[in-house]
């Protein structure tokens, strides 16, 4: 389901749509494990709840694929994330409505039976010295 660059871009398009219940059902195994810096989520239902409530209650994430590799059921990606606060609140830190922040993720997705069984995502926050990787790789 995410075994080619084009299919992973479709995965991101579905994520960016914000319909997390359908998104998780389509892409993740029922017993999937999702690890992100600072927490681990067990099970597709908990992951859908996290995306719908913890994440999108304060921010909208727009994810762009920069690099993609697949080998033997392991998909490795580099992503650029644009967070936009849709209201004042806390997601990673306190945010004010309209505030934007860009950062990068590296993700590793284990695919079994055409679903993501395990995902591990590492985040790198940006500062004034961070190169714009999207621009760099698109030249």
User: How confident is the model over 32-85, as pLDDT tens digits?
Assistant: 999 998 889 999 999 999 988 876 678 888 899 999 999 999 999 999 999 899
Residue with tokens 């579905």: 14
- Classify residue 47 by burial, with Cβ atoms within 10 Å: 0-12, 13-18, 19+: buried
- pTM of the predicted model as reported, rounded to 2 decimal places: 0.85
CA atoms of 16 and 8, how far apart (whole Å): 12
How confident is residue 136, by pLDDT bands cut at 50, 70 and 90? low
Q: Count how many domains the chain has.
A: 1
CA atoms of 42 and 57, how far apart (whole Å): 20
The predicted pLDDT at position 16 comes to 86
How confident is residue 99, by pLDDT bands cut at 50, 70 and 90? very high
Tokens of 37: 């810096």
Q: Is 44 helix (H, G, I), strand (E, B) or coil?
A: helix
The predicted pLDDT at position 134 comes to 59
Contact, 39 vs 125, CB < 8 A?
A: no
Look at residue 120 and tell me whether its pLDDT is greater than 90: yes
Q: Which domain holds residue 106?
A: 5-138
CA angle 130, 122, 38 (to 5 degrees): 115
**What is the CATH number for 69?**
3.10.450.50
């Amino acid at each position: 389901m995410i075994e080619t660059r084009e299919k992973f871009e479709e995965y991101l398009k579905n994520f960016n749509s914000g319909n997390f219940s359908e998104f998780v059902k389509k892409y993740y195994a029922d017993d999937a494990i999702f690890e992100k810096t600072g927490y681990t989520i067990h099970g597709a239902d908990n992951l859908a709840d996290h995306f719908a409530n913890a994440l999108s209650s304060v921010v909208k994430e727009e994810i762009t694929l920069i690099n993609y590799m697949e080998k033997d059921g392991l998909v490795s990606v580099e992503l650029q994330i644009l967070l936009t606060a849709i209201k004042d609140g806390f997601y990673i830190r306190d945010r004010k409505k309209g505030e934007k922040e860009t950062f990068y993720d590296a993700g590793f997705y284990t695919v079994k039976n055409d679903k993501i069984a395990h995902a591990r995502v590492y985040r790198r926050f940006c500062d004034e010295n961070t190169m714009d990787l999207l621009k760099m790789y698109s030249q």
